[in-house]
Copies of this chain bind each other. A is one copy, B any other.
Amino acid sequence: MEITIKTDVLATNEQLAQQNKKIFREAGVTAINIMGSPGAGKTTLLERTLERLQGLLKAGVIEGDIYTAKDAERIEAHGVPVVQINTGGACHLDAQMVQKVLPDFKLEQLDLMIIENVGNLVCPVEFNLGEEHKVTVLSIIEGDDKPLKYPLIFKESTAVVLNKVDLLDFCDVNMDNLKRDILSINPDIKIFEISSRLQTGLDAWIKWLLSISKPVS
């Protein structure tokens, strides 16, 4: 009974996600869905990313949070069009929430739409939003046991950012094991090792974003 209900919810979401995907593609916008635990560093990564993308491509941002507009305010300071979605308790964004805010953007003027999901390593991955790529941000300080404990999000992601690598000396994380486990779940995933705080490792990440941000045919 519960499974049937969940299937219905996911089927409806998938329909709306496909509509969103069509809207993004027709406007020539590549959408990415950035997921990760609370405090993985998604918004800070986004800030450093937007600074570096300036003059290279035009990005818009959808900020998902349960409450507050703190993240949208941080993004707005970078002069990028941003809309905050507050889920009001829900633990993930869904395609309907995203569809509702699309008219707030001039999509035909954008190349890239970055959707920052609610901080949660579990639920967001089950709800497609119409994105071309899912990206997981994992703060290495969360521990190298996380991929095997939360495999689905790594399986579904095109890329993973291993963030806060400047803290490697202050935790008991084995980077080789971490990367091995991620690749065992998803051999095709792209792995970026970044410190958003010290601004290291961003070049490869930016290069990848540019490579995926050509209008999709």
The chain A residues found within 8 Å of chain B, CB to CB, are 2, 5, 9, 37-39, 65-68, 70, 89, 91, 118-123, 139, 141-143, 145-146, 148-152, 164, 166-167, 170-172, 197
Number of copies: 2
Q: Which 5 A-B pairs have the closest CB atoms?
A: A39-B142, A91-B122, A37-B37, A39-B143, A38-B121
Known: A149-B67, A170-B167. A142 touches B38 (CB 8 A): yes
Task: Write the chain B residue with the least CB distance to A172.
Answer: B197
> Does the CB pair A70–B119 fall under 8 Å?
no
Contacts of A142 in B (CB 8 A): 37-39
Contacts of A65 in B (CB 8 A): 149
Contacts of A170 in B (CB 8 A): 166-167, 170
Task: Write the chain B residue with the least CB distance to A141.
Answer: B141
CB distance from A58 to the nearest CB of B (A): 27
Contacts of A141 in B (CB 8 A): 39, 139, 141, 164, 167
CB distance from A49 to the nearest CB of B (A): 18
> Does the CB pair A146–B66 fall under 8 Å?
no
Contacts of A145 in B (CB 8 A): 68, 70
> Does the CB pair A70–B148 fall under 8 Å?
yes
> Does the CB pair A70–B123 fall under 8 Å?
no
CB distance from A152 to the nearest CB of B (A): 7
Partner of A38, one of B91, B118, B149: B149
> Does the CB pair B68–A38 fall under 8 Å?
no
> Does the CB pair A149–B37 fall under 8 Å?
no
Contacts of A123 in B (CB 8 A): 91, 120, 122-123
Tell me the bound Cα distance from A141 to B143 in angstroms. Answer: 13
Tell me the bound Cα distance from A166 to B167 in angstroms. Answer: 11
Tell me the bound Cα distance from A145 to B67 in angstroms. Answer: 11
CB distance from A155 to the nearest CB of B (A): 12
Tell me the bound Cα distance from A150 to B167 in angstroms. Answer: 25
| Most chain B CB inside 10 Å of its own CB: which residue of A123, A141, A152 | A141
